[in-house]
A and B are shown apart, each in its own frame.
Chain A
Amino acid sequence: GAVVSQHPSRVICKSGTSVKIECRSLDFQATTMFWYRQFPKKSLMLMATSNEGSKATYEQGVEKDKFLINHASLTLSTLTVTSAHPEDSSFYICSVPDRAYGYTFGSGTRLTVV
């Protein structure tokens, strides 16, 4: 499978500020990446599909103006949580489809908004 690096692993920010999370595919050119959100003891909820060179596709109910996704190259997708509030605190995970119709996941980012 692909090798995926997600950064940062943990971030604490003040309410009202923005936070950027990076997802890098280190050995595989990914035209598509996925961003998930996971609440404690819950399943992964797909937020959006990141498309290289074009707009992201957001799932129903996900605010595109709050969760900005940029996929400027075949190896990097970023998720920016804008004007973060405590309810945005969560675990965010990216994934990259690999050559064998599987997926490799980043190690996740724990966001805490205070």
Chain B
Amino acid sequence: AQTVTQSQPEMSVQEAETVTLSCTYDTSESDYYLFWYKQPPSRQMILVIRQEAYKQQNATENRFSVNFQKAAKSFSLKISDSQLGDAAMYFCAYRTTNTGTASKLTFGTGTRLQVTL
């Protein structure tokens, strides 16, 4: 079974600075999808960024980028120019490319990000 590990329960960053959240995963599959979700205090889950494993190029969405190391099974999220609105719980998630019931998401335990002035 796939597992997702986030080793940083909490992180803190100053406004305008850069922070990196770590995520590792374990799988025997060669093709899959990886996601970072943000959960602010409203508890609405918001997709931050996604990466297809077959793509070597790291995904980027504005201030958010990932460092995808397939061989190391690592998928870290970098947040640049941090803003107060970035404060939230961040979850790393994995899904197989198989369809059907196997398409469920496996979540990590989350990293709570604080943004300070």
Roughly how many angstroms separate A25 CA and B100 CA in the complex, as a whole number? Answer: 18
Roughly how many angstroms separate A103 CA and B105 CA in the complex, as a whole number? Answer: 9
Q: Which of A34, A105, A108 contacts B104 (CB 8 A)?
A: A34
Chain A residues with CB below 8 A from B104, complex form: 34, 46, 49
Interface size on A, as a range, is 20 to 34
Known contacts A91-B43, A102-B50: does B105 contact A46 (CB below 8 Å)? Answer: yes
* Segment 18-37 of B: residues with Cβ below 8 Å from A: 33, 35
Chain B residues with CB below 8 A from A95, complex form: 45, 105
Name B47's closest neighbour in chain A (CB-CB): A102
Chain A residues with CB below 8 A from B76, complex form: none
> Chain A interface: which of B55-63, B65-73, B79-87, B107-115?
B107-115
Roughly how many angstroms separate A15 CA and B16 CA in the complex, as a whole number? Answer: 48
Roughly how many angstroms separate A97 CA and B48 CA in the complex, as a whole number? Answer: 16
**Pair A44/B91 contact, Cβ less than 8 Å:** yes
- Ordered by A's residue number, 17 sampled pairs between the chains whose C-beta atoms are within 8 Å are A1-B47, A32-B103, A34-B104, A42-B110, A43-B109, A44-B91, A46-B105, A91-B43, A93-B45, A97-B103, A101-B33, A102-B33, A102-B47, A103-B35, A103-B105, A107-B42, A108-B44
Name B6's closest neighbour in chain A (CB-CB): A43
Known: A103-B47, A107-B42. 9 other contacts (CB 8 A): A1-B47, A32-B100, A38-B43, A43-B109, A49-B104, A91-B43, A97-B103, A101-B33, A101-B95
Instruction: Kindly name the residue among B33, B104, B107, B110 whose own CB sees the greatest number of chain A CB atoms within 10 A.
Output: B104
Instruction: Kindly name the residue among A43, A102, A104, A105 whose own CB sees the greatest number of chain B CB atoms within 10 A.
Output: A43
Is B74 an interface position by the 8 A CB rule? no
Chain A residues with CB below 8 A from B52, complex form: 101
Chain B residues with CB below 8 A from A97, complex form: 103
Chain A residues with CB below 8 A from B42, complex form: 107
Known contacts A44-B107, A101-B95: does B101 contact A49 (CB below 8 Å)? Answer: yes
**Pair A105/B97 contact, Cβ less than 8 Å:** no
